[in-house]
Amino acid sequence: MGAEIWVYRETAGYVPGAQLTGYKVEASDGTVGKIDKHTEDVGRLYIVVDTGPWIFGGRVVLPAGLVTRIDAEKETVHVSCGKRELKDSPAFESGQHEDDITFITLVEQYYSNRDV
């Protein structure tokens, strides 16, 4: 994965302009939280997941390429990683902006170098 990590897979069912905020997020091994924010920035699409108490109230940034399926009827987004992988992802600090290029580079390297 490289630049394609930042775009939705053709098979994910993403519709441009769709409002995903509030959708439940399902990892490969269970529910991980809800979408707090999503972007449609050209070349860098991602969702910010509020993990709630699961990771002590944390938030993680997931590139759109990890989304495997969007179920609009059930308001659920399925992603191609597990809970542990999300928990070990680069820390998203309070007050940090998800558009910070250093942070984006860390996220890209983390998810691009994973075993799929």
- Tell which residue, 8, 19, 77, has the closest CA to residue 46: 8
Over residues 64-95, the pLDDT tens digits come to 999 999 999 999 999 999 998 988 888 777 66
Over residues 38-56, the pLDDT tens digits come to 988 878 899 999 887 766 6
Q: Under DSSP, is residue 44 helix (H, G, I), strand (E, B) or coil?
A: strand
Structural domains counted in the chain: 1
In a domain, 93, yes or no: yes
In a domain, 52, yes or no: yes
In a domain, 89, yes or no: yes
- Tell which residue, 7, 37, 24, has the closest CA to residue 98: 37
In a domain, 116, yes or no: no
One-letter amino acid of 54:
W
In a domain, 70, yes or no: yes
Give the CATH number, domain containing residue 60. 2.30.30.240
Q: Are 49 and 39 in contact (CB under 8 A)?
A: no
In a domain, 68, yes or no: yes
Domain extent for 49: 3-111
End-to-end CA distance of the chain: 10
Max mean pLDDT range (33-37, 42-46, 94-98, 105-109): 33-37
